[in-house]
Structure 1
Amino acid sequence: MTADTITTADIRINARWLIPIEPSGIVLEHQAIIIQGTRIAAVLPVAAADRGFRTRETIDLPHHVVMPGLINMHGHAAMSLFRGMADDLPLMTWLNDHIWPAESRFVSEQFIADGSQLAMAEMLRTGTTTFSDMYFFPEIVAQLAHDTGMRAQICFPLLDFPTVWGSGPDEYLSKGEALIEAWKDDDYIMPAIGPHAPYTVSDGPLIKALALSEKTGARIQIHLHETEFEVADAVEKMGKRPTERLAELGVLGPRTQCVHMTQISDTDITLLAETGAHVIHCPESNLKLASGLCPADKLMKRGINVAVGTDGAASNNDLDLFGEIHTAAMVAKVVANDAAAFSAHEALQGATLNGAKALGRDHELGSLVAGKLADIIAVDLSDPFTQPVYDPASHLVYSNRSRAVTHSWINGAPQVQDGKLTRIDVPDLMLRVEDWARQIRQQQAD
């Protein structure tokens, strides 16, 4: 290649290993990623990059694996302020006796802003570049994520009863439609519809949510088949399983993200496969609340897209997606009675490309391919707890505990450099977090 064919670009990342996710199941060595503006211009061997590109910045990562940023497909970001507040309790006791009373006492615009920033700091430090949030005051979270430069699906809440954010379904839907309109063309924010669960949302609002989805293209995310009680109660009261009810209403479809799915039959699986609905697997929350186990491997074998989420830090108790896929892989093997189930590469895909598919953005997110958006992370494998390195993919799932994430870029802009956040003032954030903790402790003592 002659000098006059050299291309100029913004950033070059030289990586010891690279896991592109597409093609699946491969690890490349001594690769360079070229970033131009917000997108990946090229992924090629270091020697070829030497011949073909000149960049204004070069980042050498000689002990790192570079991969797409992680996509956390389900959570309640601001609930990070309730982390560890009510542990070791069954789901309905946890909700009815602790979480919902605390929410009624503390949730406000400032609570949402501070709790969500705490969540984003944790997620960025542990490799997440895109997250899905379902909680109150979604307009606050949308603006905060946008200002931070973090990608987010923001699901506005929809329930049959009043909350701090609205008087009932009609107000939720009206505010939600305004949210969708406000952010419909944004590159970072993906507004979506968040009916809480079949047992908290009646048919009328679900039908209206579906109409809004069809009108705007917004995704629908719903907690579904989370516990055995939920399913049994639905059968007793309605004569049908929740998936059957949603399918009859037309709510199950390729824009629908079904969260949890721990209690599912072959009929449920067939409905998911036929409608093209996505499953969001949150194993650690399900384990901690004794909700059940999602048969992730069985779902994938039926062609159902399975992405991964952490759920909120009040029921997990962290937002570490590397830890989540570690648990997902381990649990899947036991559920399937197959040590090969949910392999390391499948787990990594569940936290990247499969999340992008659920968002409808797999054409530009979820893998390191030229032309896609430059959402990239780097993980240092030089520490003793990840040595020796035979298979970087294996280490990322089974050995790494995410503190080894050293760099992160979203839209080509640095979010984490040498393990430090670039866009969040952590000392100031910690002062606000401690003030909330003091208030919550006082309320618990009263």
Structure 2
Amino acid sequence: MTAETIIAADLRINARWILPVEPAGVVLDHHAVLIQGDRIAAVIPQAEADRQCRARETVDLNQHVVMPGLINLHGHAAMSLFRGMADDLPLMTWLNEHIWPAEGRYVSEKFIADGTRLAMAEMLRTGTTLFSDMYFFPEVAAQMARDSGMRAQICFPLIDMPTPWGSGPEDYLAKGTDLIQQWQSDPFIQIAIGPHAPYTVSDGPLQQALALAEAQGSRIQIHLHETAFEVDEALKQSGKRPIQRLAELGLMSGNTQCVHMTALSEDDIDTVRRSGAHVIHCPQSNLKLASGFCPVTRLMAAGINVAIGTDGAASNNSLDMFAELSTAAMVAKAVSGDAASVSAHQALAMATINGARALGRDNELGSLVPGKLADLIAVDLSDPYLQPVYDPASHLVYSNHGRQVSHSWIAGVPQLQDGRLTRIDVPDLMLKVDEWRQRISNTR
């Protein structure tokens, strides 16, 4: 860029630090992000911006880190309305005796609309700009996200049994096909196929899901190897580990997002590596449900892309991605016995560019690179408990929590300004949430 070049920007963001994610491990001091329309135009030193930039609006964030928006790659957004309802239980007891009965009783289009808005409010407030959702009435969740200007991968559910959304696999696949076509090419909403788990979806529907994914170029997200019990039961029933079964069916590929992945043999890891599939790590949910430990260090050493998700608020009980990536880094160190495992920069990459890569969108999301979409957040590091600042990346992972997020932009449009949501009516939302609390409390 020459000294004569003049950059016309819609928005200039001056930051004390910028963590671009790409190049990896870099922190930029006293730089500016310039935004034109919905794209990043440049990331340059502030002194250079003073000479070369003409911006319609300037935001000064002199004690903040500016970085890409976080990508929460697995969750069940509307389950926020079940937060704290059935704690301290093992996975199958939690599902069979509490969650599935509650879903049968309460889940409806209104439940999904209100629960998804609650989840989005929490996620936007804590730095997430794109979330993946796997739940019922996905058409409602997609519309809620689009109306709020939030990016989402919406995984329509596929399961052998009837649910509030449909009668069975044929019904789910037909509705899902319509959903894919409805949202095709939308820059905010990406429709994926969400088979619940190998133990709840039989071979026929899985093969149909694969055919649909190949025909439409859709991602597949599935809970996989969530517990040792799941793997042991599969071996008893079929003589095959779930990953082996999916690989034989053709479902393990670069379009596959494998969620949880706690019980993995070396052969399992090699299968994932050869397939190009992605792993979605949900450490806090795995810890709370005592599901096991995802071997993140071994996966990364094998060259497997590992992203992060919070899971639903019913099993976490938070959708704060900063808390999640902190837990991911520390659990990886304990499991591997290596304090250098999953550095602060690697954890931040898991929550940004790795998530974009799993979505097939790393060419436009996940880092602050000119030409990419302007999805970014600012984190205020001025609080005494974050002082002194030697390494902002370290603070983001080990000292910060999401409530320090002060600003966010999606496609260059402000979603959070000085900690206030711009597109979600919080008082109205809280009234609806309290109505659900009273209804669920009175009928449990």
Q: TM-score, normalised by structure 1?
A: 0.99
Partner in structure 1 of residue 232 of structure 2? 232
Match of 1:251, SS?
coil
Partner in structure 2 of residue 168 of structure 1? 168
Alignment deviations for residues 107-160 of structure 1 (CA, whole Å, 9 cap, x no partner): 000000000000000000000000000000000000110010000000000000
Partner in structure 1 of residue 95 of structure 2? 95
Partner in structure 2 of residue 380 of structure 1? 380
Cα distance in structure 2, aligned partners of 1:151 and 1:279 = 20
Q: Please state how far the C-alpha of 1:5 moved relative to its aligned partner.
A: 3.7
Cα distance in structure 2, aligned partners of 1:187 and 1:76 = 21
Partner in structure 2 of residue 407 of structure 1? 407
Partner in structure 2 of residue 251 of structure 1? 251
Partner in structure 1 of residue 47 of structure 2? 47
5 Å matches for 1:101-180?
101-180=101-180
Cα distance in structure 2, aligned partners of 1:279 and 1:106 = 31
5 Å matches for 1:182-197?
182-197=182-197
Query: 1:83 aligned to 2:83?
Result: yes
Letter in 2 for 1:165: W
Number of residue equivalences: 444
5 Å matches for 1:201-220?
201-220=201-220
Cα distance in structure 1, aligned partners of 2:440 and 2:99 = 12
Partner in structure 1 of residue 333 of structure 2? 333
Cα distance in structure 2, aligned partners of 1:277 and 1:300 = 13
Cα distance in structure 2, aligned partners of 1:2 and 1:83 = 54
Match of 1:157, SS?
strand
Q: Please state how far the C-alpha of 1:3 moved relative to its aligned partner.
A: 9.2
Q: Please state how far the C-alpha of 1:7 moved relative to its aligned partner.
A: 2.3
5 Å matches for 1:343-354?
343-354=343-354
Letter in 2 for 1:322: F
Match of 2:369, SS?
coil
Partner in structure 2 of residue 443 of structure 1? 443
Partner in structure 2 of residue 292 of structure 1? 292
Match of 1:270, SS?
helix
Cα distance in structure 1, aligned partners of 2:13 and 2:192 = 34
Q: Please state how far the C-alpha of 1:401 moved relative to its aligned partner.
A: 1.0
Q: Please state how far the C-alpha of 1:2 moved relative to its aligned partner.
A: 9.3
Cα distance in structure 2, aligned partners of 1:248 and 1:311 = 27
Cα distance in structure 2, aligned partners of 1:37 and 1:323 = 31
Cα distance in structure 2, aligned partners of 1:433 and 1:118 = 8
Cα distance in structure 2, aligned partners of 1:109 and 1:138 = 9
RMSD over aligned Cα atoms: 0.9
Cα distance in structure 1, aligned partners of 2:225 and 2:436 = 33
Q: Please state how far the C-alpha of 1:402 moved relative to its aligned partner.
A: 1.1
Q: Please state how far the C-alpha of 1:4 moved relative to its aligned partner.
A: 6.7
Q: Please state how far the C-alpha of 1:67 moved relative to its aligned partner.
A: 0.2
Match of 1:166, SS?
coil
Q: Please state how far the C-alpha of 1:184 moved relative to its aligned partner.
A: 1.0
Contact 2:66 2:376 in 1 (8 A): yes
Match of 1:80, SS?
helix
Cα distance in structure 2, aligned partners of 1:272 and 1:442 = 46
Query: 1:63 aligned to 2:63?
Result: yes
Cα distance in structure 2, aligned partners of 1:322 and 1:154 = 22
Point out where structure 2 has 5 or more consecutive residues left out of the alignment. none
Match of 2:341, SS?
coil
Query: 1:432 aligned to 2:398?
Result: no
Alignment deviations for residues 385-427 of structure 1 (CA, whole Å, 9 cap, x no partner): 1100000000000000111100000000000000000000000
Cα distance in structure 1, aligned partners of 2:270 and 2:116 = 36
Match of 2:346, SS?
helix
Match of 1:403, SS?
helix
Identical counterparts, % of pairs:
71
Cα distance in structure 2, aligned partners of 1:379 and 1:79 = 27
Point out where structure 1 has 5 or more consecutive residues left out of the alignment. none
Match of 1:74, SS?
coil
Alignment deviations for residues 185-205 of structure 1 (CA, whole Å, 9 cap, x no partner): 100000000000000000000
Contact 2:221 2:257 in 1 (8 A): yes
